[in-house]
Amino acid sequence: MKDITTISGKLDATGLKVAIVAARFNDFIVNRLVDGALDYLELQGFDRADITLVRVPGAFELPLICQKLATGKKYNGILALGAVIRGSTPHFDYVCGEAVKGLAHTMLAHNVPLGFGLLTCDTIDQAIERAGSKAGNKGVEAAAAMLETIRVLEQI
């Protein structure tokens, strides 16, 4: 009996260029996501010259800049990093909702692997936990997901 065909992505940086788009809002958290992602990508073999880092004001601006980068087709993958932390008004829900919708739309409309490293937390403690402490580093996880998806996409 024939075996099934399995397609999976190798975590290999050879020949790839990626862009990281990082929000400045809550930069004490987002900078940890950026550092974690850069560290991870370099461990996978990326040359720093093949990584472009773009800073944007906040999570709400992530989709526009990711979309523009996707349109230019210079990057094999895009990594969106940010941290939205709930306050006492509905602002959080609007920012998160539009950011998620816009990023998902960009990925699908442009067929570009987009690592989703946007923290959406109720408290600052939750954000700290996810930015390189108790709950890992979501910047690293999103970078790994982007790299794996790049390699899967090119095989199908």
Q: Which of 19, 23, 69, 150 binds ligand INI (CB under 6 A)?
A: 23
Mark 46-85 with x for binding to ligand INI (rule: CB under 6 A) and - for no binding: -----------xxxxx--------------------xxxx
Minimum distance from residue 141 beta carbon to ligand INI (Å): 18
Number of helices followed by number of strands (H, E) in the chain = 5, 6
Smallest CA-to-CA distance from 54 within 87, 89, 19 is with 19
- Given 68, 91, 133, 154, the catalytic residue: 91
The angle that helices 91-110 and 62-72 make with each other, rounded to 10 degrees, is: 10
Residue placing its CB nearer to ligand INI in the complex, 50 or 129: 129
Annotated catalytic residue 105: no
- Read off φ and ψ for residue 12, nearest 5 degrees: -135, 130
Q: Can you spell out the DSSP letters for 109-130?
A: HHT--EEEEEEEESSHHHHHHT
Grouping H, G, I as helix, E, B as strand and the rest as coil, residue 133 is strand
Nearer to ligand INI, 23 or 51 (CB): 23
Q: How many residues bind ligand INI (CB under 6 A)?
A: 16
| Residue positions annotated with a catalytic role | 91
Residues lying near ligand INI in the complex (CB under 6 A): 23, 25-26, 57-61, 82-85, 87, 91-92, 95
